[in-house]
Each structure stands twice: as C-alpha cells, then as structure tokens.
Amino acid sequence: MKSSNDTAIHELTLDRTEGDIAVLLDADDEKIELSAKLLPREVKDGEVLIITVATEKAETKRRETKAKEILNEILSNSD
C-alpha cells in the first residue's frame, strides 16, 4: 500500500463475488467487502485490482458550508 496525507493506493485481489458483494483480499489476507457494482464489468476471481482512496477537500468544504447554511437557516426561522 502506498499512502500520502490525502491518498492511499491499495493492491487487492478479487477473491469472489457473493451476489452484489465483491470480496477482496489485501496482502495480509484481510477481507474487504464492497458493492460489486464498483468493479470493472469483466473482472474475474483472482484478478489483482488497484484501488485508490482519496479525500476530496474542496467538495468536503463545500458540503460543510452548505450544511452550516441550512442549519443557520433552520435556527433563524425557529424564532
């Protein structure tokens, strides 16, 4: 696994698919389950996948601002 402050890259193996759930294994055989809809269509059991998990700071900030605006609107209308 490679990692920085806002991105982590994981090499995982597709162990199997159980219905709509994909079961992935990391190098330590730790199991990770996620929706099979998130995988490439033609992926097969045993294939190695590279998964990148990254934070989206600008979108996080936008959502926080929006939530605060909504909360302030609710609180100001409750008077």
DSSP per-residue letters across 37-55 = GGS-TT--TT-EEEEEEE-
Q: Whole-model pTM above 0.75?
A: no
DSSP state of 16: E
DSSP state of 6: S
Check: CB of residue 26 under 8 Å from CB of residue 12: yes
pLDDT at 78 over 80: no
DSSP state of 59: H
Instruction: State the pLDDT at residue 77.
Output: 85
pLDDT at 35 over 90: yes
- Check: CATH 2.40.50 for 2-77? yes
Provide the residue type at 65 as one letter. Answer: T
pLDDT at 51 over 90: yes
**Helix, strand, or coil (residue 17):** strand
